[in-house]
Amino acid sequence: MNLDAEVCCRALAARDARFDGIFFVGVTTTGIYCRPVCPARTPRRDRCRFFTSAAAAEQAGFRPCLRCRPELAPGNAPVDANGRVAHLAAARIDAGALNDGGSLEALAEECGLSSRQLRRVVKQALGVSPVELAQTNRLLLAKKLLTETRLPIIEVAYASGFASLRRFNALFRSHYRMAPSRFRGSNGATPREPTMRLLLSYRPPLAWAELLHFLAARAIASVEIVSDATYARTVAIGKHEGWLRIGTGTKRNTLVVELSSTLAPVLPPLLARLRSLFDLNARPDVIEAHLRNDRCITRMMQRGPGLRVPGAFSGFEMAVRAILGQQISVRGATTLAGRYAAAFGRPVETPFPELNRLTPTPGHVAAAKPSDLAGLGILPARAETIRAVARVIDEGGLRLEPGPEPEAIIERLQAIHGIGEWTAHYIAMRALRWPDAFPHGDLGLRKALGAASARQVRESAEAWRPWRAYAAMHLWNHLGHIQRKDKNDE
């Protein structure tokens, strides 16, 4: 991204939230870098240096502001082909791809590049190397944990992705010019607590109620609970198990996450999954500016400004839910999903009686007999499709998460017997986070558009590229509003 200094200065003077996370400003007289929404006094133009990322600012010798807290800046999610691979790599690094022995070579292979190519594209897009980006991410997560939780400092170090406390202390002092304990005003000795609370930021507006309504209709019993204001679920990442709950907070443009401390060792991937599930890196200003070219979608957007595309906490979980939803109602598929979780999910203890099962794993489902699934009321053909998806994921032949070539994953999904275009594109919308995925054969989309055929839906959708998934959400939201209104009028 090429930063226009004049545009950045105007955004900084106006504290324009649309630019939050798009650039950071380093102030040469203080050696501190800030978000453009920082409440501190606006520095003079000749004292400002602008950076595309927090990592670039830190590489230039600036340390993070304690008032606006750069670690809270929302992510940037471009979809242009030139920057897609770099930002995919950045997202993987943010989720801990280079922690716990993860190698740059493995990440590069995952992105379809050599390690040398990956270094070049990340450096070109973000101004820093992948290793420098990983180091900044670890430091900012550590700062976040020191500020927002009471985790002991040694656990903060390991939860942030550092291999040793010594390395953590050395980097913290060299970058931030203070000891980690300074963020707590004590020697860092704090009692262990069973839960943690963290903040996740987003770029406004956010149609939170509409997002929860969508997830509530599809929540898997015993695994997820959705209320009027919060979403809660059980969690298993590797050998670590627990639970989380997320809702709106008092701090502007943030969500509050409460989670069990047992999940502290897997915070980077967990927080990345939450940002994906709630699409918190979206740019509603860019998306909606494009969709406003269509009058029909413009009218629908007025009902849900800032509407997001719900992602997936687990790609396999999302795929099973999509297969169960083939040619039956949302309510019927949700009922089947609850039976499936009760039969194949391992039990887990949480503070919520309704949350008592972990989502089933691909290995467990792949080993099941077809009759075990069919006995739950799942049609035999769909039961076999679920087992086929479980096998290919368990064997490493398919990864249902954002990747550099979503079209190739869509084709791979459609090669599995029982998965058609609708199912593949719906999975791509949510698990692959592909903003241009569009299940044009969906009956609800046809109803919302008043189209006579799937072909008409496809033709109408061409004008919405590359944000067709968001247009689909507005259409479904519009249809759901009409159906609820009709039901209330009865």
* C-alpha 403, offset from chain centre: 13
Active site annotation includes 48: no
How does residue 489 score in pLDDT terms, banded at 50, 70 and 90? low
Report the first-to-last Cα separation within the chain, whole angstroms.
53
Q: What percent of the chain has pLDDT over 90?
A: 67
Largest Cα separation within the chain, whole Å, is 72
Q: Catalytic: 442?
A: yes
Is 368 within 8 Å of 387 (Cβ atoms)?
A: yes
- pLDDT-derived band at 2, boundaries 50, 70, 90: low
Give the pLDDT band (50/70/90) at residue 183: confident
pLDDT-based confidence at 82, cuts 50/70/90?
very low
49-58, 340-349, 454-463: lowest mean pLDDT where? 454-463
- pLDDT tens for residues 199-228? 999 999 999 999 999 999 999 999 999 998
Domains of the chain: 5-72 (3.40.10.10), 81-183 (1.10.10.60), 194-439 (3.30.310.20)
Q: What's the Cα-to-Cα distance from 248 to each of 109, 258, 300, rounded to whole Å?
A: 38, 11, 24
User: Which residue is it, tokens 């999910």?
Assistant: 345
Q: What is the pLDDT of residue 330?
A: 92
Which residue reads 């860019």 in tokens? Answer: 286
Residue 79 has pLDDT above 70, yes or no: no
Q: What is the pLDDT of residues 114-132, one digit of tens each?
A: 999 899 988 888 889 999 9
The pairing of beta strand 254-260 with beta strand 240-248: antiparallel
To the nearest 10 degrees (0 to 180), the angle between helices 315-324 and 421-430 is 140
State pLDDT tens for residues 349-406.
999 999 999 999 999 999 999 899 999 999 999 999 999 999 999 999 999 998 878 8
pLDDT at 33 over 90: yes
The tokens describing 248, both together, are: 């709106």
Alpha carbons 288 and 320: distance in angstroms, whole number: 31
Query: Rounded to an integer, what is the distance from CA 461 to the centroid of its chain?
Result: 25
Distant-in-sequence, close-in-space partners of 399: CB < 8 Å, separation ≥ 6? 315, 393, 409
Which of 20, 279, 436, 442 is labelled catalytic? Answer: 442
Model pLDDT, residue 20: 86
Provide the pLDDT confidence category of residue 192 given band limits of 50, 70 and 90. low
Q: Are 246 and 227 in contact (CB under 8 A)?
A: no
Least confident among 15-24, 225-234, 384-393, 442-451: 15-24
Name the nearest CA neighbour of 434 among 321, 311, 319. 311
Statement: residue 486 has pLDDT above 80: no
In this prediction the pTM is: 0.88
Tell me if 286 sits within 8 A of 76, measured CB to CB: no
- The more confidently predicted of residues 199 and 481 is 199
Choice among 34, 48, 65, 68 that is catalytic:
34
What pLDDT score does 76 carry? 63
Instruction: Give the mean pLDDT of 284-303.
Output: 89
Query: What distance in Å separates the CA atoms of residue 180 and residue 168, rounded to the nearest whole number?
Result: 9
Joined tokens for residue 216: 């509530």
Tell which wins on pLDDT, 173 or 403.
173
SS3 409: helix
Checking if the pLDDT of 235 tops 60, the result is: yes
At residue 308 the predicted structure's pLDDT band, cuts being 50, 70 and 90, is very high
The count of other CB atoms within 10 Å of the CB of residue 29 is: 10
Mean pLDDT taken over the chain? 90
| Whole-number pLDDT of residue 113 | 84
pLDDT interval class at 64 (50, 70, 90): very high
User: Quick check: bond before 43 cis, omega within 30?
Assistant: no
Tell the residue number behind the tokens 């189209």, with chain if given: 451
Rounded (10°) CA dihedral 303, 306, 312, 313: -120
| Tokens 């920057």 -> residue | 83
Residue 159 clears pLDDT 90, i.e. is over it: yes
Secondary structure element (H or E) that encloses residue 71, with its range = none
Which is higher by pLDDT, 142 or 193?
142
Q: pLDDT value at position 190?
A: 57
Beta partners for residue 49, in sequence order? 26
The whole-angstrom separation of Cα 122 and Cα 133 is 9
- 77 band by pLDDT with thresholds 50, 70 and 90: low
Beta bridge partners of 236: 241
* Mean pLDDT, range 275-303, rounded to an integer: 91
Strands (E), 186-282: 195-201, 224-226, 230-237, 240-248, 254-260
Question: Can you give 299-353 as a three-state secondary structure string?
Answer: HHHCCCCCCCCCCCCCHHHHHHHHHHCCCCCHHHHHHHHHHHHHHHCCECCCCCC
3-state helix, strand, coil in the chain (%, to 5): 50, 10, 40
